[in-house]
Amino acid sequence: MPPSLQTPFLNYPTAVETNGQGTEFKYKSQYFPVLTGFKLNILSYIATSLSPVQSILWNAAESGTPAKLERKGVLKNVVPCFDPTVIPLVPRDSSLSAYDPFLHDANSTQSQFYSALDYVEAYKSRKTTPIKVVERILDILSTDSTKESYFISLVPRHILLAEAAKSTERYVLGTPLPLDGVPLAVKDEVDVKGLMKTFGLSLEQVKRRFKDGGEPSTYTSFCVQKLLDAGMLLLGKTNMHELGLDTTNDNPYWGTPCNPYNPNYYPGGSSGGSGASVGAGLVPIAVGADGGGSVRVPSAYNGAWGLKPSHGRVSTSPSPSFAPSVVVVGPIAATISDLEIAYHIMATPDTDGSLSGLFAPPRSLSLPAQKRIGIYNPWIDASEPKVKILFNSSLTLLKEKMGYQVEDITLPYLSENQIAHRLVIMSELTSILCSAGQDITGLAPHNRILASVASRTSSHDLISANRLRTQMMQHLSHLFTTYPGLIILSPTTPHPGVRIPSGAGLKGAYGLTDATNAVESMIYVFLANWTGCPSISVPCGYVDVHAGEMPVGLMGMSEWGSEDLLLRFGRDWDEIWSTQRRRGKGWVDVLNS
């Protein structure tokens, strides 16, 4: 049996009785066509100026669906859930170190990608030094045009070299920190002392919308500070989609990061700079933020590993959350060993008033012996054929080589829950950053449209959406109790990336609106954000696309607080598949210059 759960508003477990309603999964909604350039600017002007047009777009996105379910009686006696934090009731000891014991028995992989452990070994054996690695990275960033949009702000060269010199000296003295000199990148959404936070906005809007007026942050988020305490060398703050409101990372102000596997495709978002930095080999570990797949989508598109932790598990204190009921911070990594190390450091319990202080330290929960995978076939069938073929072959390997038992499960009202998630994340982001959609001046045209449409959402719609969330969490609890150790498996995305259309992906352009692809990109990833469960994305293959290939991701989701169960799954998959991974054409070697 899984550990008992602590939450103030849910009765666990409860299976959802659908009576045949809402069980068919669909996502091919009718949206406006893909628009870039001047046409997009015109549409944004019309949509933001005319209230009837906003209502038409709101209805076209089927935004009233949760309220319709409520009127049908589907949500009768269901209490709305406004915070999906669920904490396993087990003994907690905040004095335990999250990473020191782990590093002693962590193993690298046979991957072609350098792990943090490879950096440490290279430094200890004097094959290279942190100074040489930093100089190599700075040279690449200044000369390789495909990497110029990976970062919004870099640590000043003299400061970074000074920190690398300190790290090099510690290796000479034989007193290195656990991850001394290993390069790190952090999404611009997360605070780092001394560096400006833009949230992907233009500099003008940063100065206008944030009370610090675009000045460097005066503090570092808890989880990032833990990585720095372990000795990692921060390169800078990575590019992201403006306001985090899409999964492409098309940014007209800072440019769009180049996908290291195929420059004709987006790097994914909204943590696109972090995902591309890992996929390109600049760093083995990067920090992302995930409110609707923003760690896992760029991980899949860039051939990397990504982990979205349980809601509340990783502390970003004192940084505020701009979508507090769905967004969490998690690692994107080059290998499974990097993902484990980064998570165990970032998930150090923060006992200074943070929810993360209520969670047990990583590796403190026992894992079930039985390995179980849950499959909901109508959901899987939504994938493109090439992606589904890779998924099915991966499932076969997990069964035959690692002994996973497959359980057929149901996930009711998936389409309706995705609409509810979209309503909530849009409302939370625009409420905090855009005065509930009333202050859209200076945003890129596509976000002006989204923010103005989000402003049409009523309080009743939000309450209905959160009642639907409660119902889904109760159903998941029923599944996790019925099948201990269950991992719900799916592709990370239903397609192998999104191709950049003509006139998009450029610095100084208008941006891009592609609602259909945005919704499709999130059909699998949204559920973990919506319900607060942890989720992992692992690279599982490659698909031929326009002018090259793109990686494909495999995703697992498990019960609250069970990140180590997902990491065991990741190690199993790595044992099967690591030797088949290959670098993209944009990969660079920073250890052997």
Q: Running DSSP on this structure, what letter comes out for residue 432?
A: H
The one catalytic residue in 115, 167, 270, 354 is 270
- Does residue 537 carry a catalytic annotation? no
- Spot the catalytic one: 132, 187, 237, 308: 187
Amino acid at 166: K
The residues facing 279 across adjacent strands are none
- Cross-sheet strand order for the sheet of 535-545: 151-154, 233-238, 183-187, 285-290, 328-333, 305-308, 535-545, 548-557, 486-491, 372-375, 405-408
The C-alpha atoms of residue 407 and residue 387 are separated, in whole angstroms, by 21
Is the backbone of residue 436 left (phi > 0), alpha (psi -120 to 50) or beta?
Answer: left
Rounded CA gap, 426 and 34, in Å? Answer: 20
3-class state of residue 355 by DSSP? helix
Instruction: Tell me whether strands 405-408 and 372-375 are parallel, antiparallel or unpaired.
Output: parallel
Q: Which listed residue (115, 167, 271, 294) is catalytic?
A: 294
Alpha carbons 112 and 27: distance in angstroms, whole number: 36
Which of 224, 74, 257 is CA-nearest to residue 148?
A: 257
Residue 270 catalytic?
yes
Q: What is the rounded distance in angstroms from the CA atom of residue 302 to the CA atom of residue 304?
A: 6
Q: How far is CA 173 from the centre of its chain?
A: 38
Q: Which two tokens stand for residue 81?
A: 């859930």
- Per the document, the length of the chain is 593
367 to 402, 565, 566: CA distances (angstroms):
15, 6, 10
294 belongs to the catalytic site: yes
b/e burial code for range 481-508 (CB count within 10 A of at least 16 → b): bebebbbbbbbbbbbbbbbbeebbbbee
Rounded to whole angstroms, the Cα distance separating 75 from 576 reads 43
| Placement of tokens 């790190």 in the chain | 184
Question: Are 488 and 25 within 8 A, CB to CB?
Answer: no
Residue reference for tokens 């967004």: 327
Closest C-alpha to 301, from 373, 387, 235, 237: 387
Cα separation of 350 and 184, whole Å?
21
Which residue, among 588, 511, 29, 577, has the nearest Cα to 253 in the 3D structure? 511
**Nearest one of 357, 361, 325, 355 to 343, comparing CA atoms:** 361
Question: Which DSSP symbol is given to 184?
Answer: E
Tokens of 468: 């639907």
Q: Is 464 helix (H, G, I), strand (E, B) or coil?
A: helix
Residues with a catalytic annotation lie at 187, 270, 294
